[in-house]
Amino acid sequence: MERARSDALVVGAGIAGLIAALKLQPAKVTVLCKTRLGKGSATDWAQGGIAAAMGADDSPRLHAIDTQRAGAGISDSKIVEILTQDAPARVEELLELGAAFDRTDAGELALGREAAHQRRRIVKAGGDATGHEILKTLIEAVSTHPSIEIVENVTAEDLIVDDNRAGGVVARENATGERIELRARATILATGGMGRLYRFTTNPVEATADGIAMAARAGALLADMEFVQFHPTALAIGRDPMPLVTEAVRGEGAILVNDLGERFMTAIHPDAELAPRDVVARAIFEQQQRGRTVGLDARSAIGARFPQAFPTVFRFCIDAGIDPRVQNIPVAPAAHYHMGGVAVDEWGRTTLENLWACGETSATGVHGANRLASNSLLEAMVYGSRVATDVANVAPWKPSGHVPPVRTRLVAPARTGAAQAQAINDLRNVMYANVGLVRNAIGLREALARIVELEAADGEEGPLRNLLVAGRLIAEAALARHESRGSHYRSDYPEADEALAKRSFSRLRSVA
């Protein structure tokens, strides 16, 4: 086993992880990347933008109001204030690093609007390529710091924990299966989400709940696991993952219609297509349950401007034989973002000493039961920065150097054959059907029973192990919440219960 040591180990190389690494300078930082740097990260796929009160008619207070309203009554107000107050400064930092955000003819930031925002406050790049631009900018910045080491194509498997104190991770080289022990004074989980848990998702295949599962197995506290956001408008062309049709398309006036030509959102919510994501996603799902298909009609609102306004979406559509300038875009809801994760405080500290978490793998409490559009990139920026500040304050740096490498026998790479592929497919199907947009006690218990069966049969390594942990935690939390709130909708408890207007916390339990 090869052993290496650093001041701080960042597990994950999306926006949250790279910001943390940059802010930790001049400490010696190791960034563990599951794939090649810049690939496999949800940041690279983020289309909509980053929310910040940058306009003259806007303010952090208004941004906070919108965030809390979308969170359905359980957002942590202290964290919401931190997020919205910090937002403009974090955007300015990206500009200083060279991020090329879209601008008006007058040279001002071109601010877009998305669902549940009362102001135009979405900072975008390339129309619908914001995440790609941010990631590119951060990778270029990281490359200028020799004290940041990027370790590519290595998958973290478990935390090294001694007496409730994290000391790094045990990881595996993807190509050879060789184990690597990476030790650090501070370990930061920034591994992203768990979208691969669901049959239909907009997330990359690498989004397999690694950070959540590792922290859960180590005994860390989890929070808000039942709240999974489904994006209403994923491009329904048979691809897996499903390409995203950014919410900004609806922000520019596109409308949802079924195959009978009926615009159905006006009868469901006063904001119609710009209602909160959970409302729009369930409305589309209900149309599907009635045998209808749904299209996004951008012909009048955007029309000939589509290639310039939304080049990424336009390319996806054209590749699928759809011209959004003159045709409706077929859409369906898909798992997009997890509001739950590893419970952290206002500085990103977990309940394990020397372990921090940021980005989608964490649960700060800011999103409540339903994330406000374009607050995810923002939260990753804000918390990546705050984690770095806290790590530097809590663990003063001393020269650490490297432990001399010691290589031992190779182990077989994780098996990813037909049996595991089928098990993952079964899990994804049951999660979408029973722990998806509409839930009830019968379906949740059926899902848990199937998860237990798969756990009992799973003796393998690889993504299934972590997906099963996350699936069980989400299903258990959903079963325990006897109400409907935000992204969590129970058909057997269709109303919100004010007695349950609070966050949920849990730990991984062993299977009897």
Give the tens place of pLDDT for each residue, 17-30: 999 999 999 999 99
**332 SS3 class:** strand
Output the pLDDT for position 413. 44
Structure tokens at 382: 């804000």
Query: What gap in Å lies between CA 285 and CA 271, rounded to an integer?
Result: 18
Q: Where are the alpha helices (DSSP H) in 154-276?
A: 210-217, 248-251
Output the pLDDT for position 273. 95
Q: What is the mean pLDDT of the chain?
A: 91
Q: Can you list the domains of the chain with their CATH numbers?
A: 231-334 (3.90.700.10), 418-505 (1.20.58.100)
What's the whole-number mean pLDDT along residues 78-101? 97
Task: Determine which one of 277, 450, 481, 485 is catalytic.
Answer: 277
Query: What gap in Å lies between CA 21 and CA 14, rounded to an integer?
Result: 11
HSE-up (13 A, CA, CB side) for residue 18: 26
**363 SS3 class:** strand
What's the whole-number mean pLDDT along residues 185-204? 96
The residue with greater pLDDT, 407 or 464, is 464
Global confidence as pTM = 0.91
What's the whole-number mean pLDDT along residues 471-482? 98
**Is pLDDT above 70 for 507?**
yes
**Is pLDDT above 70 for 77?**
yes
Handedness of CA 486, 469, 234, 493 (dihedral sign): negative
Query: Which of 329, 321, 334, 247 is CA-nearest to residue 294?
Result: 329
Q: With bands split at pLDDT 50, 70 and 90, how would you rate the model's confidence at 247?
A: confident
The residue with greater pLDDT, 5 or 236, is 236
Query: Which of 51, 7, 109 is CA-nearest to residue 366?
Result: 51
277 is catalytic: yes
Output the pLDDT for position 416. 52
Output the pLDDT for position 2. 54
- As a whole number of angstroms, the longest Cα–Cα distance in the chain is 68
Query: Which of 5, 357, 254 is CA-nearest to residue 151?
Result: 5
Q: With bands split at pLDDT 50, 70 and 90, how would you rate the model's confidence at 401?
A: very low
The arrangement of strands across the sheet holding 228-235 comes to: 228-235, 329-338, 294-297, 255-258
Query: What gap in Å lies between CA 401 and CA 42, rounded to an integer?
Result: 32
Output the pLDDT for position 429. 97
Output the pLDDT for position 41. 74
Structure tokens at 98: 């060279």
Neighbours of 397 (CB within 10 A): 15
Output the pLDDT for position 459. 55
Query: What gap in Å lies between CA 405 and CA 408, rounded to an integer?
Result: 10
What's the whole-number mean pLDDT along residues 487-501? 97
Are 182 and 420 within 8 A, CB to CB?
A: no
Question: Cis before residue 26, ω within 30 degrees of 0?
Answer: yes
Query: Which of 197, 191, 195, 196 is CA-nearest to residue 214?
Result: 191
Structure tokens at 434: 């029973």
Structure tokens at 333: 């809801």
Convert the pLDDT of each residue in 479-491 to its tens digit: 999 999 999 999 9
**Is pLDDT above 60 for 415?**
no
